[in-house]
């Protein structure tokens, strides 16, 4: 039964109607006509009618008491995030993998629950590990009620603890094999089947700085990608499969050069994940003669697609970019913002080395415009004869000495114009030039992962002082990225295109309030707003009942 508004000329009547099935069709039948809506509202009879009806419905009475504040509130917990990510934690195999590794360990607390709570904290309200202890009190986390700060620290120390010497085969000199490595391997094997191969590996590195001295070996000064050369840091390497799923993370001292990481990682991947012929895709920071020589060794050839240093490699700047030939258009000019960026490619062979030149006309126009803006400003500053121009990196490369002063270097301007909108790749694969370019562009997946690692999950800065807990701290962010990737993928399959902040806000708004009414306890679900219902549906998770 339900209320229906019946309009007769200029009057509106409120009726009670029920549906009934007759002759194979659904029909509506009027049970009663209560009167004109306006008169019922003015006399207050409608409110009295509805209020009196709640006396015969226990749930409505409880809900009314909660709304009016007459029921005693015992507790309030957020439930949206824990329900969704608990399901993902279980279905991705994280729960089972951590539990398997923890078997036989004599901890006085639930190790798996401590790790899950830390990961959930990174996803829902990222902050310091110290804040996690108080944060969890506002969430309905199964098994998390009795966890203390020391438990979180011990759990992270366990994740980052190096394994016994007998398990240190194929160890990178600056990165011991740890407990987290075994969990990564088990997670990979769980999602791998007879028809799954790791045919593409996307690898890149970033840096994360410390507040303090860092760990025993990890905290070192080096090239800071966070623009904080004044602080000690660590280097984080991430490996993704062809679908953009995180496979593993590697953690090294902050003074580790990018060019020294690719070969050890490739060797280790073959040992850890059974990778045989996967194509390595990496940025130009990884390229070096020793690296290329190892990758092309006839005894163990390894397919690769590497970004080339256009300005620093003579073979590229003097020969590759000077070769003629027609470009093949892969993506034309954009017609809408959702279209892929323009891309055209051409292949060049130099001394038996295969290169692919990629060109983006949209980026070329931007590069030219940016350079013109710099030169225009530089010309104005030169009129003042300011020696401070030399200290400006943007200005300095376009200057040359002229007598006792400086002037604009026209040759440098022409040279820089050669690079507008271009990047060069080196490869030994049989892929077409178009495929090489498109595969390389997928490195944005790693860059997006690093952005999430640093900003969304607030992994930096790190305050821990021991290598073990530092490695565990970063690995908890890695596990959070595994769950985040899985959730976004399932939402995409369900046709949900939502911003991450909106997802977390809507999940965080769903709460369960425990109240006492007539000497009985009830739990009421509130705050199922926005996209939370659609997220639950996409995940296949049943929405908690309104009241129980």
Sheet holding 11-22, edge to edge: 2-8, 11-22, 25-36
Alpha-helical (H) ranges within 420-466 are 433-441, 444-451
On whether the CB atoms of residues 277 and 297 are closer than 8 A, the answer is no
Question: 336, exposed or middle or buried, with CB in 10 Å at 0-12, 13-18, 19+?
Answer: exposed
3-state secondary structure of 453: helix
Tens-place pLDDT, residues 399-411: 777 777 778 888 8
Residues 6+ apart with CB under 8 A from 120: 81, 82, 85, 139, 141
On whether the CB atoms of residues 241 and 280 are closer than 8 A, the answer is no
Structure tokens at 6: 């019946």
**Shortest CA distance to 284 belongs to which of 252, 247, 259?**
259
Question: 363, exposed or middle or buried, with CB in 10 Å at 0-12, 13-18, 19+?
Answer: middle
Question: 540, exposed or middle or buried, with CB in 10 Å at 0-12, 13-18, 19+?
Answer: exposed
Q: Looking at the DSSP assignment, which residues form a beta bridge with residue 458?
A: none
Structure tokens at 320: 């590759």
pLDDT of residue 358: 94
pLDDT of residue 297: 86
Cα 293 to Cα 284, 290, 302, 348, 353, distances in angstroms: 16, 5, 10, 20, 12
Q: Looking at the DSSP assignment, which residues form a beta bridge with residue 329?
A: 344
Average pLDDT, the chain: 84
Percent of the chain predicted with pLDDT > 90: 26
**Shortest CA distance to 291 belongs to which of 269, 252, 260?**
260
pLDDT above 80 (res 86): yes
pLDDT above 70 (res 16): yes
- C-alpha–C-alpha distance, residues 481 and 484, integer Å: 5
Tens-place pLDDT, residues 445-460: 888 888 887 776 677 6
- C-alpha–C-alpha distance, residues 376 and 448, integer Å: 34
Structure tokens at 365: 């126009």
- C-alpha–C-alpha distance, residues 97 and 382, integer Å: 64
Tokens 């798996």 belong to which residue? 112
List of E strands, 150-245: 200-209, 233-240
What is the separation, in whole angstroms, between the first and last Cα of the chain?
23
Tens-place pLDDT, residues 188-232: 888 776 445 567 888 888 888 888 788 888 888 998 888 888 888
User: Residues 114-118: what's their mean pLDDT?
Assistant: 94
Structure tokens at 505: 């806000």
| DSSP annotation string for 172-220 | BTTB--BHHHHHHHHHHHHH--TT----EEEEEEEEEEBSSS-SSSS-B
Tens-place pLDDT, residues 137-176: 999 999 888 899 999 999 999 999 988 866 666 555 567 8
pLDDT of residue 148: 92
Structure tokens at 305: 């697609």
pLDDT above 70 (res 61): no
Largest CA distance in the chain: 103
Q: Looking at the DSSP assignment, which residues form a beta bridge with residue 209?
A: 233
Q: Looking at the DSSP assignment, which residues form a beta bridge with residue 356?
A: 347, 425
pLDDT of residue 368: 92
pLDDT of residue 195: 47
pLDDT of residue 64: 66
- C-alpha–C-alpha distance, residues 439 and 441, integer Å: 5
Structure confidence at residue 62 as a pLDDT band (50, 70, 90): low
Q: Which residue has the higher pLDDT, 74 or 64?
A: 74
pLDDT of residue 359: 94
**Shortest CA distance to 302 belongs to which of 282, 321, 332?**
282
pLDDT of residue 172: 58
- State residue 468 phi and psi, 5-degree precision: -60, -50
Tens-place pLDDT, residues 351-399: 889 999 999 999 999 999 998 988 888 887 777 766 566 667 777 778 7
- C-alpha–C-alpha distance, residues 204 and 262, integer Å: 9
**Shortest CA distance to 124 belongs to which of 114, 144, 138?**
138
User: Residues 292-319: what's their mean pLDDT?
Assistant: 87
Structure confidence at residue 68 as a pLDDT band (50, 70, 90): low
pLDDT above 60 (res 89): yes
- C-alpha–C-alpha distance, residues 477 and 129, integer Å: 11
On whether the CB atoms of residues 522 and 62 are closer than 8 A, the answer is yes
User: Residues 49-64: what's their mean pLDDT?
Assistant: 65
pLDDT-wise least confident of 3-17, 46-60, 456-470 = 46-60
On whether the CB atoms of residues 121 and 136 are closer than 8 A, the answer is yes
Residues in the chain: 548
Cα 535 to Cα 161, 267, 367, 495, 504, distances in angstroms: 36, 40, 41, 11, 10
Question: 175, exposed or middle or buried, with CB in 10 Å at 0-12, 13-18, 19+?
Answer: buried
Helix (H) / strand (E) element for 439: namely helix 433-441
Residues 6+ apart with CB under 8 A from 380: none
What's the DSSP call for residue 340?
P
pTM over 0.85: no
Cα 430 to Cα 87, 267, 305, 321, 402, distances in angstroms: 41, 22, 11, 22, 50
Tens-place pLDDT, residues 226-260: 888 888 898 888 888 888 888 888 888 888 888 88
């Amino acid at each position: 039964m339900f209320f229906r508004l019946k309009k007769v000329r200029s009057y509106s009547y409120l009726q009670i109607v029920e549906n009934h099935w007759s002759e194979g069709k659904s029909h509506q039948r009027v049970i009663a006509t209560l009167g004109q809506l306006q008169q019922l509202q003015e006399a207050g009879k409608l409110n009295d009618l509805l209020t009196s009806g709640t006396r015969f419905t226990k749930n409505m009475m409880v809900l009314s008491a909660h709304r009016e504040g007459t029921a005693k509130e015992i507790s309030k917990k957020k439930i949206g995030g824990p329900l969704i990510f608990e399901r993902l934690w279980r279905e991705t195999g994280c729960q089972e993998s951590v539990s398997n590794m923890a078997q036989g360990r004599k901890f006085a607390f639930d190790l798996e629950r401590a790790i899950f709570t830390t990961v959930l904290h990174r996803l829902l309200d990222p902050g310091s590990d110290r804040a996690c202890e108080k944060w969890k009190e506002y969430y309905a986390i199964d098994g998390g009620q009795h966890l203390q700060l020391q438990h979180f620290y011990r759990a992270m120390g366990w994740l980052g603890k190096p394994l016994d010497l007998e398990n240190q085969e194929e160890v990178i000199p600056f990165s011991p094999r740890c407990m987290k490595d075994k969990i990564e391997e088990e997670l990979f094997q769980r999602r791998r089947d007879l028809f799954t191969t790791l045919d593409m590996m996307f690898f890149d590195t970033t840096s994360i700085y410390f507040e303090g001295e860092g760990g025993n070996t990890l905290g070192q000064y080096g090239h800071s990608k966070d623009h904080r050369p004044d602080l000690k840091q660590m280097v984080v390497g991430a490996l993704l499969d062809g679908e953009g799923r995180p496979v593993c993370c590697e953690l090294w001292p902050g003074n580790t050069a990018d060019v020294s990481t690719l070969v050890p990682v490739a060797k280790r991947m073959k040992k850890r994940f059974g990778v045989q012929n996967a194509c390595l895709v990496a940025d130009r920071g990884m390229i070096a003669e020793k690296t290329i020589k190892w990758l092309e060794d006839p005894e163990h050839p390894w397919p690769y697609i590497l970004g080339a240093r256009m300005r620093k490699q003579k073979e590229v700047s003097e020969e590759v970019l000077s070769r003629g030939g027609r470009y093949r258009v892969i993506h034309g000019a954009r017609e809408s913002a959702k279209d892929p960026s323009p891309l055209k490619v051409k292949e060049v062979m130099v001394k038996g080395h295969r290169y692919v030149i990629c060109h983006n006309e949209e980026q070329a126009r931007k590069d030219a415009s940016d350079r013109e803006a710099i030169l225009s400003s530089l010309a104005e500053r030169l009129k003042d004869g300011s020696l401070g121009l030399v200290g400006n990196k943007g200005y300095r490369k376009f200057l040359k000495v002229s007598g006792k002063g400086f002037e604009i270097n026209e040759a440098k301007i022409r040279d820089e114009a050669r690079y507008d909108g271009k990047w060069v790749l080196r490869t030994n694969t049989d892929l077409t030039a178009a495929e090489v370019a498109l595969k390389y562009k997928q490195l944005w997946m790693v860059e997006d992962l690093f952005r999430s690692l640093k900003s969304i999950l607030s992994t930096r800065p790190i305050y821990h002082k021991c290598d073990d807990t530092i490695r565990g701290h970063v690995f908890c962010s890695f596990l959070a990225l595994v769950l985040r990737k899985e959730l976004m993928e399932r939402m995409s399959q369900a046709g949900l295109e939502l911003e991450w902040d909106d997802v977390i806000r809507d999940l965080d708004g769903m709460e369960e309030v425990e109240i006492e009414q007539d000497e009985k306890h009830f739990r009421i679900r509130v705050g199922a707003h926005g996209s939370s219902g659609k997220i639950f549906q996409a995940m296949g998770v049943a929405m908690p009942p309104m009241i129980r």
